Structure 1
Amino acid sequence: MPRIALLQLSAVAEPEKNIRKTEAAIRKAASEGAEIICTQELFTTEYFCTTQDTDKFDLADKIPGPVTENHQSLAKELGVVIVASGFEKRATGLYHNSAWVVDADGSLLGIYRKMHIPQDPGFEEKFYFTPGDTGYKAFDTKFGKIGVLICWDQWYPEAARLTALKGAEILIYPTAIGWLPEEKEEFGEAQHNAWQAVQCGHAVANSCYVVAINRTGTEGNTEFWGRSFVSDHYGQVIATAPVAEEMILTADIDLDALEAHRRIWPFFRDRRIDSYSQITERFID
Structure 2
Amino acid sequence: MKIAIAQTNPKPGDIRRNLEQMLNFMKELKGQTDLLIFPELSLTGYSLKDQLYEVAISPDSPEMKEICQVAKETNIDCIFGFVEAGKGDQIFNSAALIKNGSVSTIQRKIYPTTYGIFEEGKYFARGKKVKVDQIKEFTTSMLICNDVWHPSLAHIAAHQHCSLLVALINSPEGGLGSKFSSAQGWERVGQFYAQIYGCYVVLVNRVGKEDDISFYGNSKVIDPFGQVVVQCPFKDEAIQICEIEYRHVKEVRRVLPTMRDEDIDLTIRHLQDIARSEYEDEK
Judged with a 3 Å threshold, the aligned counterparts in structure 2 of structure 1 residues 200 and 30 are, in CA distance, closer, same or farther, namely farther
Tell me how far apart the structure 1 counterparts of residues 204 and 175 of structure 2 sit (CA, whole Å): 22
SS at match of 1:197: helix
Judged with a 3 Å threshold, the aligned counterparts in structure 2 of structure 1 residues 182 and 91 are, in CA distance, closer, same or farther, namely closer
Counterpart residue number, 1:233: 224
Q: State the shift of 1:4 in Å.
A: 0.6
Is the 8 Å Cα contact of residues 52 and 83 (structure 2) preserved in structure 1?
Answer: no
Extract unaligned runs of 5+ from structure 1.
none
Residue type at the aligned position of 2:77: V
Q: State the shift of 1:143 in Å.
A: 5.5
Judged with a 3 Å threshold, the aligned counterparts in structure 2 of structure 1 residues 76 and 143 are, in CA distance, closer, same or farther, namely farther
Which residues in structure 2 correspond to 1:211-250 (within 5 Å)? 211-250=202-241
Which residues in structure 2 correspond to 1:86-101 (within 5 Å)? 86-101=82-97
* 1:123 corresponds to 2:118: yes
1:200 aligned to which of 191, 199, 204: 191
Which residues in structure 2 correspond to 1:33-72 (within 5 Å)? 33-48=32-47, 53-72=49-68
**RMSD over aligned Cα, in angstroms?**
2.1
Is the 8 Å Cα contact of residues 158 and 259 (structure 2) preserved in structure 1?
Answer: no
Counterpart residue number, 2:17: 17
Counterpart residue number, 1:187: 179
Deviations 1:201-246 (A, max 9, x none): 1111111100011000111111101000110011111111111110
1:278 aligned to which of 270, 274, 278: 270
Q: Report which stretch shifted further, 110-119 or 61-70.
A: 61-70
Tell me how far apart the structure 2 counterparts of residues 247 and 82 of structure 1 sit (CA, whole Å): 16
Extract unaligned runs of 5+ from structure 2.
none
Tell me how far apart the structure 2 counterparts of residues 225 and 249 of structure 1 sit (CA, whole Å): 16
Counterpart residue number, 2:170: 176
Tell me how far apart the structure 2 counterparts of residues 142 and 192 of structure 1 sit (CA, whole Å): 30
Which TM-score applies when normalising by structure 2? 0.90
Which TM-score applies when normalising by structure 1? 0.89
Deviations 1:103-132 (A, max 9, x none): 1x2132121111111112432100111110
Tell me how far apart the structure 2 counterparts of residues 174 and 250 of structure 1 sit (CA, whole Å): 16
* 1:144 corresponds to 2:138: yes
Judged with a 3 Å threshold, the aligned counterparts in structure 2 of structure 1 residues 165 and 272 are, in CA distance, closer, same or farther, namely closer
Counterpart residue number, 1:254: 245
* 1:107 corresponds to 2:69: no
Q: State the shift of 1:26 in Å.
A: 2.0
Residue type at the aligned position of 2:119: E
Residue type at the aligned position of 1:125: E
Is the 8 Å Cα contact of residues 180 and 222 (structure 1) preserved in structure 2?
Answer: no
Judged with a 3 Å threshold, the aligned counterparts in structure 2 of structure 1 residues 144 and 271 are, in CA distance, closer, same or farther, namely closer
Is the 8 Å Cα contact of residues 155 and 195 (structure 1) preserved in structure 2?
Answer: no
Stretches of 4+ aligned residues off by more than 6 angstroms: 282-285
Tell me how far apart the structure 2 counterparts of residues 182 and 106 of structure 1 sit (CA, whole Å): 39
1:268 aligned to which of 244, 255, 259: 259
Residue type at the aligned position of 2:23: E
